[in-house]
Amino acid sequence: AQSVSQHNHHVILSEAASLELGCNYSYGGTVNLFWYVQYPGQHLQLLLKYFSGDPLVKGIKGFEAEFIKSKFSFNLRKPSVQWSDTAEYFCAVNAGGSQGNLIFGKGTKLSVKP
Amino acid sequence: NAGVTQTPKFQVLKTGQSMTLQCAQDMNHNSMYWYRQDPGMGLRLIYYSASEGTTDKGEVPNGYNVSRLNKREFSLRLESAAPSQTSVYFCASSPRHLGGLWDNSPLHFGNGTRLTVT
């Protein structure tokens, strides 16, 4: 079965630190990849997505993610985090399965200390 | 620009009670989805409606029913609530169903309904 793994449950950083959140998926075929962010008390919002083309994808608020097909990975990065980046981050994969829905990872909670 | 609207925002039920969660979108999207979010579990799909007039089971459909009332509205019903259904429920919509690899349409989420079953 398709699955998405996010390696870290909770990451704590100080402001200006660099961020990398891991995401691996298990599917051998073509995929569409997404990162969603959920700020405290809010709904999920799309951060960025990969469909095809350049494997380095830039999203909103200075986030970027790199699709490495050989590693089945789609890690999220930001060079310098801010307190306002405190949120939960979800990786999601659309592999066009029978249900045709996004498979979400369990999420990584990011806490940024001012 | 409302997007996806869910009601109610909060609800407390006793075991065995029934209720319906409402969801409406004003983006003329074809596809709508119900997810539940539980700590450490991420989001899991309950039911979805790829287009008006169709509904299908997702990963965790047991104990739920849905109705795609029209293109705008997609409701989720708990016939006999159980404590295991305590969760945050999110409705989402998409311009097209996510089943095609040629389609990278993202999901647009509502603000969620926090349900507690005692």
Q: Which residue of A has its CA nearest to B101?
A: A96
Task: Name the residue facing A99 among B4, B45, B106 (closest C-beta).
Answer: B45
Q: Are B103 and A32 a contacting pair at CB < 8 A?
A: yes
Neighbour-count burial of A96, counting CB atoms closer than 10 A to its CB (0-12 exposed, 13-18 middle, 19+ buried): buried
Cβ atoms A103, A90 nearer than 8 A: no
Q: Under an 8 A CB cutoff, do A106 and B110 touch? A: no
> Which amino acid does the sequence have at B60?
V
Q: How confident is the model at residue B1 (pLDDT cuts 50, 70, 90)?
A: low
pLDDT in tens, A70-109: 999 999 999 999 999 999 999 998 876 545 567 899 999 9
pLDDT of residue B26: 95
**Residue of B72, B105, B74 whose CA lies nearest to B2:** B72
Where is pLDDT greater, at B71 or A98?
A: B71
Model confidence pLDDT, tens digit, residues A34-84: 999 999 988 888 899 888 889 999 998 999 999 999 999 999 999 999 999
Is residue B43 within 8 Å of residue B36, measured between CB atoms?
yes
B30-69 confidence digits (pLDDT tens): 999 999 999 888 889 999 998 899 999 988 999 999 999 9
* Nearest alpha-carbon partner for B93 in B21, B37, B26, B43: B26
For residues A25 and B20, give the distance between their C-alpha atoms in angstroms, rounded to a whole number: 34
Does residue A42 sit at the B interface (CB-CB below 8 Å)?
yes
Instruction: Report yes or no: A34 at the B interface, CB cutoff 8 Å.
Output: yes
Q: How many residue pairs from chains A and B have C-beta atoms closer than 8 A? A: 68
> Does the beta-carbon distance from B103 to A95 stay under 8 Å?
no
Q: In a 3-state reduction of DSSP, which class is residue A18? A: coil
Single out the residue of A79, A77, A35, A102 nearest to residue B100, CA to CA.
A102
Asked whether the beta carbons of residue A44 and residue B110 sit closer than 8 angstroms, the reply is no
The token duo for A81 is 């985090």
Contacts of B4 in chain A (CB under 8 A): 43
Q: What is the DSSP code string of B46-112?
A: EEEESSTT--EE-S--TTEEEEE-SSSBEEEEESS--GGG-EEEEEEEESS-TT-TT--PPPEE---
C-alpha distance from B104 to closest chain A C-alpha (Å)? 6
C-alpha pair distances (Å), B80 with each of B4, B76, B115 = 26, 13, 13
Phi and psi, residue B99, nearest 5°: -75, -15
